[in-house]
Amino acid sequence: MSSSAPAIATPEEIGKYEPVIGLEVHVQLNTRTKIFCGCPTGFGAPPNTNVCPVCLGLPGALPVLNRRAVEMAIQAALATHCRVNEFSRFARKNYFYPDLPKGYQISQYDQPLAEHGWLDAEVDGAKKRIGITRIHLEDDAGKSIHDGFKDSDRFTYVDLNRSGTPLIEIVSEPDIRSSDQAYAYLTELKQIMQYVGVSECDMEKGQLRCDANVSVRLKGAEKFGTKAEVKNLNSFRFAKMALDYEVARQVAVIESGGRVEQETRLYNVATGETVGMRSKEHAHDYRYFPEPDLVPLRVSDAWLEEIRSSMPKLPSEKREEFLGKGLSDYQVLVVTASRRWSEHYEKAAAISGDFIGTANFVTSELMGMPDALDRITPEGTGTLVRKIKEGEISGKMAKHILEKMYETGESPDQIIDSEGLRQISDTGALEKIVDEVIAQSPKQVEQYKSGKTGVIGYLVGQVMKASKGQANPAAVNELLKAKLG
Ligand code: ADP
Ligand code: ZN
Ligand code: MG
């Protein structure tokens, strides 16, 4: 039925409907070792080198739960206001993939680690609270690498280095009502995970993966429509585009008298369309059953409290804090964009002693430099801002010094010294130059004394020139005024 329907609905048709969206996000935890064995988790090792009998799924090998992975999952749960269950249980989810050597994934099913959380997603200044149904722990599969184009030389390679990497799956309630809200939810979730330190969430490395469940209903209707699940969303921008496409597709199906199929669809980046992949599998297809090789997981109150008390600040708390320091909404967004930016900004502000000045500098100068955080230290930023504030260097010089810092990795003081950029604020040295300029400009001095005080600009300019730009203009101005009476 859907195949005979027009691909995309008109804006008027779409306007009659409300999207209903729930997201399933997988986040790779950045533990040093895998979830059920001691193999390293590092990215980029030669294929099939970080493996052992457990993560290769060899018969008889037994999993041992990584305590650090549980701790990180709990941190993620607390950061999203979830209730952490005292008892949870692992379950086998059976399916066949060439890169899943056990023939099942160890996940959690009816007793997940954490439930009933939420986070606030902000769109155009409006906050929307989105429920989090559950967060559970599971192991990742290996990777299939497809190679070759012609049938005759097409190969698929299997790399099991990733097999057994710890994941959390974060399942949202179907509370999301637009692709913009979905984008905001994902952005906030990623930031939270980064701030808490459980994952870098680098999507290019597959550290954050997202599937979207989408349905539409007539505005005002209560009952949800049939949902389709869209997979393969490699960036938040693609997720938003895929959702927009999928909503328009479903509306077109319904408007032309059809029925949305419950199915799994793939987003095709090249065409911008979603394509039916398979009819949706149901829980019973996986034949979930309790994992017999692992005891139930118990999180004691004491352990939970220990983790709770060592939680870092969340991005939302940081945003509040910086707003309180007088930063603009835009500046707050910029300096809290990631935990690294937030830490850079905060350390720099502590050194400069000027929250707003540092925010101005970070947003206007630093943000635009690619990989700025890898090349400029918070000490460097803080020192520059302090020097501007104290009149030691001008804003223009700061810009130049920053560029040098970026290129050479040297500190502001090293660059100021090696380039002779120190401003002359020392009165003795300045006085000498000022006296010379006064002696050489009798006409302008006359004019000034007869009331044409605007001519002081000329005199300041002469002093700046004589000092090769190293005089402090404010100090020169004062000195001239004092001398001319
Ligand atoms: P399934 O049994 O198909 O796995 P779940 O009820 O477990 O479905 O939900 C999976 C995801 O789909 C969740 O993120 C949930 O919020 C979302 N979801 C459930 N029903 C709908 C719906 N009608 N429309 C959109 N999303 C939905
Ligand atoms: Zn292993
Ligand atoms: Mg489900």
3-class SS string, 193-254:
HHHHCCCCCCHHHCCEEEEEEEEEEECCCCCCCCCEEEEEECCHHHHHHHHHHHHHHHHHHH
Distance (Å) from CA 428 to ligand 3 centroid = 78
pLDDT, residue 425, reads 64
Tell the residue nearest (CA) to atom 14 of ligand 1. Answer: 22
Distance (Å) from CA 214 to ligand 3 centroid = 14
Give just the sign of the alpha carbon dihedral 28, 31, 32, 33: negative
Q: Which ligand is nearest to the CA of 227?
A: 1
Find the mean pLDDT for residues 463-479: 83
pLDDT, residue 394, reads 80
Best substitution site from 227, 262, 278, 286 to test ligand 1's pocket, by max atoms within 8 Å of Cβ? Answer: 227
Distance (Å) from CA 456 to ligand 3 centroid = 76
Query: What is the token pair recorded at 130?
Result: 């989105």
Q: Which of 66, 55, 57, 64 shows the shortest CA–CA distance to 31?
A: 66
pLDDT, residue 1, reads 43
State which ligand 1 atom lies nearest to the alpha carbon of 172: 14
Tell the residue nearest (CA) to atom 13 of ligand 1. Answer: 22
Query: What is the token pair recorded at 8?
Result: 């995309």
For residue 470, the number of C-alpha atoms closer than 13 Å in the C-beta half-sphere is 16
Residues 6+ apart with CB under 8 A from 191: 315, 336, 337, 338, 339
Beta strands of 373-453 (E only): which ranges?
Answer: none
44 band by pLDDT with thresholds 50, 70 and 90: confident
**DSSP per-residue letters across 348-389:** HHHHHT-HHHHHHHIIIIITTSTTHHHHS-HHHHHHHHHHHH
d(CA 296, CA 286): 20
Percent of the chain with pLDDT strictly greater than 70? 97
The yes-or-no verdict on residue 290 having pLDDT over 90 is: yes
Poorest-pLDDT segment among 120-124, 155-159, 470-474:
470-474
Cα angle value 231/137/42 (rounded, 5°): 80
Neighbour count for residue 63 (Cβ, 10 Å): 19
Question: Taking ligand 2, which is a single-atom ion, which protein residues have CB atoms under 5 Å away?
Answer: 37, 39, 52, 54-55
Distance (Å) from CA 35 to ligand 2 centroid = 9
pLDDT, residue 440, reads 93
pLDDT tens digits along 201-218:
999 999 999 999 999 999
Ligand 1 neighbours by CB, cut-off 6 Å: 20-24, 171-174, 213-215, 224, 227
Phi, psi dihedral angles at 265 (to 5 degrees)? -120, 155
d(CA 384, CA 348): 9
**DSSP per-residue letters across 123-145:** ETTEEEEEEEEEEEEEE---EEE
Tell the residue nearest (CA) to atom 7 of ligand 1. Answer: 171
Angle between helices 179-196 and 67-79 (to 10 degrees): 130
pLDDT, residue 108, reads 97
pLDDT, residue 283, reads 66
Distance (Å) from CA 324 to ligand 2 centroid = 48
Distance (Å) from CA 70 to ligand 1 centroid = 25
Q: What is the pTM of this model?
A: 0.81
362 band by pLDDT with thresholds 50, 70 and 90: very high
Best substitution site from 93, 110, 169, 213 to test ligand 1's pocket, by max atoms within 8 Å of Cβ? Answer: 213
Distance (Å) from CA 113 to ligand 2 centroid = 23
pLDDT tens digits along 161-179:
999 999 999 999 999 999 9
Angle between helices 339-352 and 378-389 (to 10 degrees): 40
Average pLDDT, the chain: 92
First to last CA, the chain: 92
Phi, psi dihedral angles at 59 (to 5 degrees)? -60, 135
pLDDT tens digits along 374-384:
999 999 999 99
| 24 bridge partner residues | 171, 211
